[in-house]
Structure 1
Amino acid sequence: MSRLLLRRARLGGVVQDVLLDGGRVTAVGTDLAAADVLDLDGAVLLPGLVDGHVHLEQWAAARQRIDVSAAGSAAVAAALVAAALVAAALPDGAPGGFVVGQGFRDALWPEPASAAVLDAALPGVPVVLISGDLHTAWCSTVAAHLLGVREPSGVVREHEAMEVFARAAGAAPAVVDRWVFDAAAAAAARGVTAVTDFEYGDLVTDWARRAALAPGGPPLRVRTAVYVDRLEATIAAGLRSGDPLPGVTDAVAADRLRVGPLKVFVDGSLGTRTAFCDRPYPGLTGPEAHGLLRTPPAELARLLRRAADAGLDRSVHAIGDRAVAVALDGFAAAGVTGRVEHAQQVHAADLPRFAALGVVASVQPRHAVDDRDAADLHWAGATARAFPYRALADAGAELVLGSDAPVAPLDPWDGIAAAVHRSLDARDAWHPEQHLDLDTALAAASGGRRGVQVGDVADLVVVAEPPATVLARDGAAGLRTTQVLATLVGGRTTHRSAALG
């Protein structure tokens, strides 16, 4: 790998040269030399941004689907789909396949989603709508019949919903791969250098196939999650977290594509009212009034121990306060560390357990602003412990920021903005006591790095202005539109703006 000199980079207010060699930062100073030079002309050099939780194939596909995220009711969602089909000149809906929409959030709807609503607006059309939180699938009658969905309402949740997504929303691998590379390039243009991909399926095989599509593979580092149904096959193949994906022969791609963690679900989501909580959901009775416990404690501990013994990292999906407690109990019982994904509601007594157990809180700040109204309704009286980012940080927990794309946009600046100011509109910030300071948010979005140091991996992002300057002048809205001039992964440029020259 050739040496690259980043000339006139602004580091902490000082303009210096930065030399990259062998994929690392090897020198910082003045009057450095190299054959290849990229003049930053005083632009700001920061550690590369890392999205700790994405569903990359779903995000890539969502960019192609009908957007129903603005729907305030089931009828409006159906009307949005019908209007999109007319605009696309597809009066019969989906020749040869399903019509797929993305992003509905029904937690505040006046009436429930149902097949009948879709049938009335789109008679005879096989429609599948995917919820914004990826935990619910809503099918028309024709789609339900084709997919074997027996629920009369056409609405299924959790694992069954994910199976519906996989069957109805899939495209040919070559098409999906093109979408994924386009989405990865868009992420690189926002400064993303690495992601953990929690897409449901055989990610090892999928990403090994994609490695051959372009020199060096994707413009990002990708860690591929392993779901429970593939745990034993992964162990039998001898794969450990951090290993290059088997069959990848391109050296750069092999460096970028690595086996990631085991993913285990403890509960569902707030939007689907399946997050496992101490308080029952308003108006619900019976065994699911408190949400769903998807993995019992003893089985969780067994899975975590099994993964650790095989050299696999551990990530546990837990959103409700009871689910987070179960997840932490599971780590303690197994005697291993790992990550809690989401941690959207945490009891005060559980906050210090993250640091004590060495468990990372992998959180998605945009969810706090997207779900504030749903939380006020369905977690009434318990929102003081909802999305408790400042409390986790103050308790010593290591924070990792992500998007959960397509639940939120794959744009770390959006997540950083939501972390430092919890509002998207003219309303006051929601529970501002849980704001993170900018330095903490940036570090949590940068793999824990707080600056560019000699010896660091050369995963870097160049921005036009210091983020603190942008925040002070333009507020959180300004952070969302941060101008990214260049992105580098392992010292190789994955994005370069024309504005850089």
Structure 2
Amino acid sequence: MTSLDGIPGPLADELDTPSALTLSRVRLGAGGPLGSVRIAEGKVVAVVVEGELEGPVLDLDGRTVLPGLWDAHVHAAQWAGNRHRVDLAGLGSARKVAEAVRLHSVGLPAGEVLMGQGFRDGLWPDAPHKALLDQVCPDRPVALISADLHAAWLNSACLQLVGRGDHETGLLREHQAFEALQALPAVPAEVLDRWVAEACRDAAARGVTGIIDFHFSDNIADWSRRAANSPLDIRVQAAVYPRHLDAAIERGLRTGDVLPATDGLLQAGPLKLFTDGSLNTRTALCCDPYPGLEGTPEAYGIEETPYEELVRLMRRAVGHGIEPAVHAIGDRANTLALDAFAAVGRPGRIEHAQLLTAADIGRFAALGVTAGVQPAHATDDRDVADRHWAGRTGRAFAYADLLAAGARLEFGSDAPVSPLDPWLGIAAAVHRTGDERPAWHPEQRVPVRAALAASARGRSEIRVGDAADLVVVEVDPLEADARTLREMPVHATMLGGRWTHGPY
């Protein structure tokens, strides 16, 4: 921590909420020279190399300052809520999950729904079934959400609660899962908003200054309420779903428009659309069948939105200044999404872009489509990909190929699928491993500088005139090994000239 010994009280107060401040003896970007940065009125107003600027001054003792980081794909309310649920990550079978449910059910208030999140059944030796949960928790509703958010496992009591008491297995996928979870008793808005605020403060402690929130709700209304109640600690682009598209159009909102009374921190986001499901649930739409599902109706995954409807919704959105953001995971889904962008003739985003055909790699740049990708998924899903996309993983999570073809990458976490921590994604993109195993498809590694830029919405330098959204780190990322990069010690985070984390 930077010592404030000897700093007069009034100056220390000014450093807490600075209207003007100089960050001195700071490395200007990854691998950058020593210099100073002057902040005033929420913007960077001067940058000098090997020189000093006028005070008040905060000496950062050679630490590195970077553009503030963004998580370009978050489900904020679900991430915040899941931090208060049973963590099922890493449990290797349905029976182990059921045992975890049994242990966590002890002592809960009668009638309270036991919520869990994070199971991955794609490699399990046994299948999730309501009977397993009924054995350990027969009277209390239990709802477990898969790590990829595309499946829910419910016991009989919970199935009755959501009006699906006749469901054969209790394992619901895609729309059935979404509808069942929405039918559960809602967390009170004031409680959820408090959880979201806590999650945002924790994100700021990891250098995050902004997110694109794809939570499945009326995000603009939810974030407007939060901003009205207390200052936001991050910038938010609030995505719109089709059921809220007409309302956004009637208000004249365009992607990037700042919402009133939010201190400029809340913007209207893109329109979220779906082409397919996910890898773990074997619903991602692919050109080849999933092993063991050959000959079944969903052998190739599922098409969530018919192509004609996808194009119609995209045309309506872009006609009113709203950028489409299309979920596409399987290679067939990505081809359909790119075809739709070609038909509409306007740029936008594809979220995930996990499996691509060789022919589609270059189309991202040609069509001006941003690839909103989650590098931590490459390390988290390497085993399930090797099983269900066997022989095709050379073109899975193909970030180096996309960069070489000129595509714009923006990194996110898809929290709660992966933790809302941009350094995990940066390290995964650079090293292609999240543990002690060798790199998985190391040919798809990206350089540290490119990973940092993809985590800062393209910003790679501290520039005069930019908003003073900055992160100060203890270690130059270019000098960090894999573990240090994953665990990067963040000294301070600034949002529009205001400290949201640190610096002392």
Residue 39 in 1 paired to residue 59 in 2? yes
Counterpart position of 1:234: 248
- Please give the alpha-carbon distance, in whole angstroms, between the structure 2 residues aligned to 1:165 and 1:451: 43
Contact 1:419–1:441 (CA<8 Å) still a contact in 2?
yes
Counterpart position of 1:19: 38
Instruction: Compute the displacement of 1:169 (Å).
Output: 6.7
Counterpart position of 1:203: 219
> Could you tell me which of 119, 122, 142 is aligned with 1:127?
142
Question: For 1:206-225, what aligned pairs fall within 5 Å after superposition?
Answer: 206-214=222-230, 217-225=231-239
Per-residue CA deviations over 1:282-328 (Å, capped at 9, x if unaligned) read 11132211001011111111111111111111100000000000000
- Please give the alpha-carbon distance, in whole angstroms, between the structure 1 residues aligned to 2:32 and 2:303: 50
Contact 2:350–2:371 (CA<8 Å) still a contact in 1?
yes
Per-residue CA deviations over 1:97-137 (Å, capped at 9, x if unaligned) read 31100100000011211111100111122000000000001
> Could you tell me which of 38, 50, 75 is aligned with 1:55?
75
Once superposed, what is the RMSD of the aligned Cα atoms?
Answer: 1.4
Per-residue CA deviations over 1:45-76 (Å, capped at 9, x if unaligned) read 11110110000111111111001112111111
Counterpart position of 2:23: 6
Secondary structure, aligned partner of 2:263? helix
Residue 312 in 1 paired to residue 322 in 2? yes
Residue 145 in 1 paired to residue 160 in 2? yes
Counterpart position of 2:378: 368
Residue 76 in 1 paired to residue 76 in 2? no
Counterpart position of 2:490: 484
Per-residue CA deviations over 1:170-195 (Å, capped at 9, x if unaligned) read 31111100100000000000000000
Counterpart position of 1:428: 438
Residue 269 in 1 paired to residue 278 in 2? yes
Instruction: Compute the displacement of 1:162 (Å).
Output: 1.8
Instruction: Compute the displacement of 1:378 (Å).
Output: 0.7
- Please give the alpha-carbon distance, in whole angstroms, between the structure 1 residues aligned to 2:100 and 2:64: 42
| Range 387-396 or range 319-328, more displaced | 387-396
Per-residue CA deviations over 1:210-267 (Å, capped at 9, x if unaligned) read 11232xx22100000001111112212222212223xx42xxx331111100000000
Instruction: Compute the displacement of 1:497 (Å).
Output: 4.2
Identity over aligned pairs, percent: 53
Residue 254 in 1 paired to residue 263 in 2? yes
Residue identity opposite 2:210 in structure 1? A
> Could you tell me which of 401, 409, 413 is aligned with 1:399?
409
Instruction: Compute the displacement of 1:453 (Å).
Output: 1.6
Residue identity opposite 1:46 in structure 2? L
Counterpart position of 2:11: none
Counterpart position of 1:178: 194
Instruction: Compute the displacement of 1:160 (Å).
Output: 2.4
Residue identity opposite 1:200 in structure 2? F
Contact 1:484–1:497 (CA<8 Å) still a contact in 2?
no
Secondary structure, aligned partner of 2:359? helix
Question: For 1:276-295, what aligned pairs fall within 5 Å after superposition?
Answer: 276-284=285-293, 285-295=295-305
Contact 1:68–1:81 (CA<8 Å) still a contact in 2?
no
- Please give the alpha-carbon distance, in whole angstroms, between the structure 2 residues aligned to 1:170 and 1:382: 41
Counterpart position of 2:427: 417
- Please give the alpha-carbon distance, in whole angstroms, between the structure 2 residues aligned to 1:456 and 1:254: 16
- Please give the alpha-carbon distance, in whole angstroms, between the structure 1 residues aligned to 2:185 and 2:463: 44
Unaligned residue ranges in structure 2 (runs of 5+): 1-17
Q: Which runs of 4+ in 1 moved over 6 A?
A: none
Counterpart position of 1:112: 127
The TM-score normalised by the length of structure 2 is: 0.93
Unaligned residue ranges in structure 1 (runs of 5+): none
Secondary structure, aligned partner of 2:54? coil
Residue identity opposite 2:224 in structure 1? A
